[in-house]
Amino acid sequence: MIEVRFFATLRTDRGKITQVPAEEVSTAGDLLRRFEIPAEEVAILLINGFHSKPEDAVKDGDVISLFPPVGGG
Amino acid sequence: MSNAYYEKIARINLTTGEIKAEPLDLEVAKKFIGGRGLGTKILYDEGVAAVDPLSPDNKLVYITGPMTGSNSPSSGRYMVVTKSPLTGMIACANSGGIWGAKLKFAGWDALIVEGQAPDWCYLNIEDDKIEILDAREYLGVLSEELDDKLKEKHGAECSVLNIGPAGEKQVLLAAVMNDKDRAAGRSGTGAVMGSKKLKAIVVKATRKQLDVIADVDALKEANKACLKIMTDNPLTGAGLRALGTASLVNVINGIGALPTKNWQESYCPTADQFSGETLAEKYLVKPGACFHCPIACGRIIKHDDKVVGGPEYEPLWAYGSDCGNDDLYTIDEANRLCNEYGLDAIGVPCTIAAAMELYQRGFIKEEDCAGVPLEWGSKEALIEWTKRMGDPKTELDWLMSSGSARLCEHYGHPEFSMSVKKQEIPAYDARAIQGIGINYATANCGAAHVRGYMIAPEVLGIPAQLDRTVTDEKAGWAKTFQDLTAAIDSMGTCLFTSFALGAPEYASLLNAATGTNYTPEELLEVGDRIFNIERMFNKAAGMKPEDDRLPKRLLTEPISNGPSKGMVSKLDITLPQYYAARGWVDAFPTDETLKKLGLDECIGK
């Protein structure tokens, strides 16, 4: 399974966390499409804690974190 | 000719009671802009670097920038510049709210407070008139209550800056508070106020806007253009308003850079419980904004039966994972206590975290704790020790209120103090984010995240996404961020505007307001000059090259858990690169660098 974590406004109607069978997706972009999130709404996409792009591959056991524009100091 | 300054500084000697208006030197103002830059220049020239910070010889400069009080976005900043009793070096604590704008509206670019009052006093400013009034009846009064009392006395339209009990007692982690929940928080500026027996400064102004802008039409255009950029930007236009800086809890934890249990770990599995998302869901009433700010990053929260200023990212982290706690209500309460006692809401919880590690390792004993053991995650300890640090009585209260460096040194284990230049490090693990470590090590005020916020490019992808794990090019980025920050601070503009604006926009604002003609490159050079005069202040104050360092833990103990497990800071690589970029040798500018920056007064010093 792949674990997808949603943050900030991306939680609206999606909840905080969900699991996706690994065989149903091959890239992070597939996950965005699955959850109907336009790529431009994602400011930070982490795969296992490292900045990644929608075209990057995902595999069983990965944790994907999706953030809209957030920041501060 | 108008130039966005009122060209007037009040010098107030509390020893003699003498108050005089001095002209602002416009040539100096042009070279150092105002705020942080001009404040440091004044203190450098007046020999303050050599004095005892808590003696009558130290001076407190409350200073605005040319943009403070203007119609430009997020232009309500003022700074408290002094010699820090915490670090022994330059302090420049920057705050928002409305107090700074009102000081400017009253017709003052800055106040220089000198000496020591014979008894507790406060300043009352009404336009040109400044008077020293008796504050004895307000001794021991908490900050928010004092704000109310002084408003009752002087009118609801005034704005109040004050110190709480912590500042009165010259606690080294004491902050200067204004407008109830805004703080010039770091480096112990509140203790310097306390040492002068100055409890508050009340400001009332007839003027409601600046009437000294050089080119009103040009500023209107520049404001419009900047506001559009900020509104269109998803972070300054919406993101910060929605969740505030608290939104960072999950981001920084997500990359494994959220220091936990005094930096023994860097990932907290329960961080979402004290995140911006949870804060919004459980307690947020509305976003809060400082003077003329479209960003509105502040959090106005419901706390018991009150509506109060809520925690920013820093105290959420510091009272949260850094102390092994994930209870948000406790963080809200501890943060409120910091505001009430007038305490640095970073330094205090980070010192509690260091004390908890000393307790964990058996150096602080249960019998030392006066009934409240310093156990990880203890809600009672977080609340009670914050109060004790705000109004210390026992030996351990006093030690802890002096910050983690002095505390850990006392127990013979300085390595457990996560500080630089005796100031506690903020909420981003420099082992997982290589560039921010350069800023922690070299910031002239001691460890700080707001002297060159490398988190923007290394984590948030602003203005470009850098690889946080490598050292490549980080030294140059750090220098540029430090220089631009020095210029923005000195203008009196909020640093958060820089999530959307860049040097060209700042130059356009400053030029329109002051009548200067800076190019973006020249503005960065002014920032470079400011950073260097701060460094020369520190040199005169006795700073040594080894003060530009990081705690041993960050250099030699790999991160123990989470996504960044195994990483250490590579400051040994980046620091020499940074010095080369700055034109420094052994932590200080060469005479050639000083000459290039027009700092002739520092050559040979």
Q: How confident is the model at residue B474 (pLDDT cuts 50, 70, 90)?
A: very high
Q: Which residues of B touch A37 (CB under 8 A)?
A: none
CA distance B169 to B60: 17
Phi, psi of B362 (to 5 degrees): 85, 10
Question: Is A32 a domain residue?
Answer: yes
Q: Which residues of A touch B276 (CB under 8 A)?
A: 8, 70
Q: Which residues of A touch B234 (CB under 8 A)?
A: 43, 68-69
SS3 A16: coil
Tokens of A72: 């501060």
- Tell me, letter by letter, the H, E, C secondary structure of B535-547: HHHHHHCCCCHHH
The whole-number pLDDT of residue A72 equals 81
- Number of residues in chain A: 73
Q: What is the mean pLDDT of residues B537-544?
A: 98
The whole-number pLDDT of residue B318 equals 98
Tokens of B390: 């705000």
Non-local CB neighbours of B476 within 8 Å, separated by 6+ positions: B577, B581
Largest pairwise CA distance in chain A: 39
- CA distance to A8, A36, B284, B387, B428, per residue, from A13 (Å): 12, 11, 20, 41, 30
The whole-number pLDDT of residue A71 equals 87
Q: What is the dihedral of CA A44, B489, B430, B478, to 10 degrees?
A: 90
- Name which of A7, A65, A71 is nearest B277 (Cβ-Cβ): A7
Q: How confident is the model at residue B122 (pLDDT cuts 50, 70, 90)?
A: very high
- Name which of B248, B255, B461 is nearest A43 (Cβ-Cβ): B461
Q: How many domains does chain A have?
A: 1
**Residues on chain B bordering chain A, Cβ-to-Cβ distance under 8 angstroms:** 233-235, 238-240, 242-248, 250-251, 254-256, 272, 276-277, 297, 312-313, 449-450, 453, 455-456, 459-462, 465, 467-469, 495-496, 499, 562-564
Tally the C-alpha atoms within 13 A of residue B364's C-alpha that lie toward its C-beta: 28
With CB atoms and an 8 Å threshold, state whether A70 touches B461: no
With CB atoms and an 8 Å threshold, state whether A69 touches B459: no
Which of B288, B260, B270 has its CA nearest to residue B376? B260
Question: Is A44 a domain residue?
Answer: yes
Q: How confident is the model at residue A36 (pLDDT cuts 50, 70, 90)?
A: very high
The CATH code of the domain that includes A8 is 3.10.20.30
**The residue to which tokens 């106020």 are assigned:** B193
Q: Which residues of A touch B563 (CB under 8 A)?
A: 46, 48-50
With CB atoms and an 8 Å threshold, state whether A69 touches B467: no
* CA nearest to B456 within chain A: A71
**pLDDT tens, position by position, B275-300:** 999 999 999 999 999 999 999 999 99
Show the CA angle centred on residue B547, arms to residues B543 and B551, nearest 5°: 160
With CB atoms and an 8 Å threshold, state whether A71 touches B456: yes
- Name which of B234, B272, B277 is nearest A43 (Cβ-Cβ): B234
Element (H, E) at B390: helix B379-390
Give me the residues of A, 32-51, that contact B with CB < 8 A: 43-44, 46, 48-51
Positive or negative torsion for Cα B547, B552, B553, B554: positive
Contact B127, B6 (CB under 8 A): no
With CB atoms and an 8 Å threshold, state whether A51 touches B499: no
Radius of gyration of chain A (CA): 11
With CB atoms and an 8 Å threshold, state whether B256 touches A49: yes
Angle, helix B379-390 to helix B347-360, in steps of 10 degrees:
120
**pLDDT tens, position by position, B450-464:** 999 999 999 999 999
Residue B1 has pLDDT above 80, yes or no: no
Distance (Å) from the alpha carbon of A23 to chain B's nearest alpha carbon: 24
CA distance B430 to B288: 30
How many Cβ contacts (< 8 angstroms) between chains A and B? 93
**pLDDT tens, position by position, B347-363:** 999 999 999 999 999 99
Question: Is A73 a domain residue?
Answer: no
The whole-number pLDDT of residue B109 equals 98
Question: Is A27 a domain residue?
Answer: yes
* CA nearest to B278 within chain A: A8
Instruction: Tell me what the pLDDT averaged over chain B comes to.
Output: 98
Residue A73 has pLDDT above 80, yes or no: no
Domains of chain B plus CATH, in order, are 8-204 (3.60.9.10), 268-419 (1.10.569.10), 424-602 (1.10.599.10)
Distance (Å) from the alpha carbon of A11 to chain B's nearest alpha carbon: 9
**pLDDT tens, position by position, B57-88:** 999 999 999 999 999 999 999 999 999 999 99
**pLDDT tens, position by position, B31-46:** 999 999 999 999 999 9
- Name which of B272, B297, B461 is nearest A44 (Cβ-Cβ): B461
Non-local CB neighbours of B597 within 8 Å, separated by 6+ positions: B525, B528, B529, B532, B589
Question: Is A72 a domain residue?
Answer: no
B27 Cα distance to chain centroid:
27
Question: Is A43 a domain residue?
Answer: yes
Q: What is the mean pLDDT of residues B181-201?
A: 98
Q: Which residues of B touch A71 (CB under 8 A)?
A: 235, 239-240, 245, 247-248, 455-456, 460, 462, 499
Q: Which residues of A touch B246 (CB under 8 A)?
A: 72
Distance (Å) from the alpha carbon of B449 to chain A's nearest alpha carbon: 7
For residue B311, what is the DSSP state? P
Q: Does any CB of chain B come closer than 8 Å to the CB of residue A26?
A: no
Strands A17-20 and B19-23: unpaired
Q: What is the mean pLDDT of residues B365-383?
A: 98
Tokens of A57: 């591959």
| A interface test, pick of B186, B255, B433 with most A CB neighbours within 10 Å | B255
Tokens of B316: 């959420």
Give the domain extent around A15.
2-67
Burial environment of residue B149 by CB neighbours within 10 A (0 to 12, 13 to 18, 19 or more): middle
Q: How confident is the model at residue B209 (pLDDT cuts 50, 70, 90)?
A: very high
Which of B93, B106, B82 has its CA nearest to residue B21? B106
Contact B130, B123 (CB under 8 A): yes
Residue A59 has pLDDT above 90, yes or no: yes
Please state, as a whole number, how many other Cβ atoms lie within 10 Å of the Cβ of residue B575.
20
With CB atoms and an 8 Å threshold, state whether B246 touches A46: no
Non-local CB neighbours of A69 within 8 Å, separated by 6+ positions: A43, B233, B234, B235, B238, B239, B460
CA distance B250 to B346: 18
B229 Cα distance to chain centroid:
26
Q: Which residues of A touch B240 (CB under 8 A)?
A: 71-72
* CA nearest to A73 within chain B: B245
Q: What is the mean pLDDT of residues B501-529?
A: 98
Burial environment of residue B395 by CB neighbours within 10 A (0 to 12, 13 to 18, 19 or more): exposed
* CA nearest to B317 within chain A: A73
Q: What is the mean pLDDT of residues B382-399?
A: 98
Residue A37 has pLDDT above 90, yes or no: yes
Show the CA angle centred on residue B146, arms to residues B141 and B152, nearest 5°: 140
Q: Does any CB of chain B come closer than 8 Å to the CB of residue A22?
A: no
- CA distance to B162, B186, B470, B502, per residue, from B190 (Å): 8, 9, 38, 33
Angle, helix B474-491 to helix B503-514, in steps of 10 degrees:
20
